[in-house]
Amino acid sequence: METKRHLAFDFGAESGRAVVGTLKDGKLTMEELHRFPTQSMFIYGSLRWNIYRFYEEIVTGLRKYTAKYGSALESIGVDTWGVDYGFLKGDGTLLEIPYQYRDDRTNGTAEIIDKAMGNRAVYDITGIQFMTINTLNQMVAVKRDTPERFDEAHDMLFIGDILHYLLGGKKTAEFTVASTSQMLDAFQKDWSPGLLRKFGFPDKLKSRIVFAGDVLGTINTELAKEVGLSETVKIVTPAVHDTASAAAAIPAEGEKWAYISSGTWCMVGVETGEPVINDASYEMNISNSGGALGKNLFLKNVMGLWIIQQCKKAWNKKYPELGYPGIVEKAVNAKPFAGFIDPDDALFFAPQDNIAAIREYLDKTGQTGVDTGDIGTVARIVYESLAFKYRYVVDRLKAATGQEVEVLHIIGGGTKNALLNQFSANALGFRVKAGPAEATATGNLLLQAYGCGEVGSLQEIREIVRASNEMEVFEPERETAGEWTRAYEQFKTVCGL
C-alpha cells in the first residue's frame, strides 16, 4: 500500500517551516524539511509582510519534498497567525503588500469603533476581545485613511488563505482565522452583515467561509510541473489560524483542563462547545476564537515570549553568542521576585528598546532599585510575570465559564522553556503538561488527514497526538508554594489587576 504523506506549511511571526507527516498504526511521524525566517519589514514607511517571499519559501519546501520523496503527495495546507489580510484586485492579483498587525495605522481606531457601534454591541455579535491589531481596526483604518482601497479591492483574504489561493485554491476565508477578525457572527459562523454595513465595508469583500478539513481544490498545474509534483495533490485547509491548529493537537483527556499555545503570543484558553458571551466575558475582554471541528476557543491573548525575543535582540548587540538557553540559565541564578511587570502593558507592544521599556514600567510602578542591566534579573522578572499572568487569566476563564481546571497543557515552541513551565506550575498551583512543541504543525497535518478521510474525529486526532508524543510533566514545588502565593498578590497589586 502506497504511503500517504501530507505537507504542512506552518508560518509564525518569527519563522516558518515545512513539515511532512505520515500517519501509520495510529501514530504520526513528522519531519521538518525546510525552515525560514518570516519577519516583517518596513515598506513605504509602514510595516508589511512580504507575502511573495512566503510563497517562494513554500515553493522551496515543495522542491525539497520532491527531491526526497518524489511526485506523490496526498495534500498540502497552510496555517498562519490571525487578523492580517490582503486585498485582491479584479484580475486576482494582490492590490498591495499586506500590512503587519503591529503597524501604527490602527492608532485611534478603537475610539472610532466604540463611537460608531458601541463596544458591547460589537462584542455581543463577535465575541472577540478588543485589540488594536484586530482586522476590524485595520479595516476601520482603511476606511478613515485610504477609502479608495475599497473601490479598488474585489476580495479580502487572510494571509494563509492568500497562500492557499496562490497554490491553486479558491478565494475563501477559513473560519478559524476569519473569526479573529472581529467581523464574524460568533454563533452563525459567518460574516455579520449588520456590522459590515455599520462600518461601510463593501459586501464584495466577504469571501466564502470554509472550515478546517475542507478540500479547496488541487495544486496549480504549472506549479506542480515546476516543482515535480503530481497534479492531483489536494489543497486541504487546516485550521488556518495557527492557534486553532495547535489546539486541535492538545493531548487532553476529559474536560477539566486549560491550555496555553505558547510562542510570540501566548493564547491562554479553555475549550467550549459554544461561544461564551456574557457580562463577565465582556468585562474581562475574553475572545471566542473559532476552533476546529465544531469547537470554540475561549481564550485571551497574553503578550508572550515576544518580550524575551525583543530583549534578546538588545542583548545580542553586546553578546552576539547569547542564545535562549543561556538566558534561561542566567534567570535560574537570579533573585526571585525582584520585580513584576504586566506583560500586556502597552509599553511592550512595539518598543524601540525593550530593556528601556521594562525599566520605565518598573519606575512608573514604584519598583526602584532593580538592576535592569543584569540579564538574569530581567529575564526572571519576565518569566515570573508571564506565569502570574497565566494564573490571572485562567482564574478569569474559570469565573466566566464555571468550568473547573485541574491541569494546564502548554503546547507550541514555549514548551522547550522548562523554567517557564515550572514557574507556571508554581504560579497556578497545579500540574502542567508540556508538549507537543510542534503542536501547530501536528494539528495542521492531522486536520489535513481528517479532510482526506484518514481520521474521523477530534477525539481520534488527540488519541494520535498522545500516542505520538511524550509529555513532560511539571508539578508545583510544595516547598515554595507560600512564596509564590504571596508574590502573586504582590504582582496583582503592583500591576493594578
Catalytic annotation, residues: 242
Residue 14 phi, psi (nearest 5): -105, -35
> How would you classify the pairing of strands 234-236 and 75-79?
parallel
Neighbours of 199 (CB within 10 A): 16
CB-based contact 158:240 (threshold 8 Å): yes
Residue 189 phi, psi (nearest 5): 55, 45
Number of H helices, E strands in the chain: 19, 21
Is the preceding peptide bond at 436 cis, omega within 30 degrees of 0? yes
Q: Helix H segments across 260-338?
A: 279-283, 306-318, 324-332
Angle CA(306)–CA(271)–CA(274) in degrees, nearest 5? Answer: 125
The helix/strand/coil state of 136 is helix
Cell of 61: 519546501
Residue type, 128: I
If DSSP states are collapsed to H, E and C, what string results for 379-410?
Answer: HHHHHHHHHHHHHHHHHHHHHHHCCCCCEEEE
Neighbours of 285 (CB within 10 A): 15
> How would you classify the pairing of strands 266-272 and 296-302?
antiparallel
DSSP letter string, 159-226: HHHHHHHHHT--SEEEHHHHHTTS-EETTTTEE-HHHHHHHT--GGG-PEEE-TT-EEEE--HHHHHH
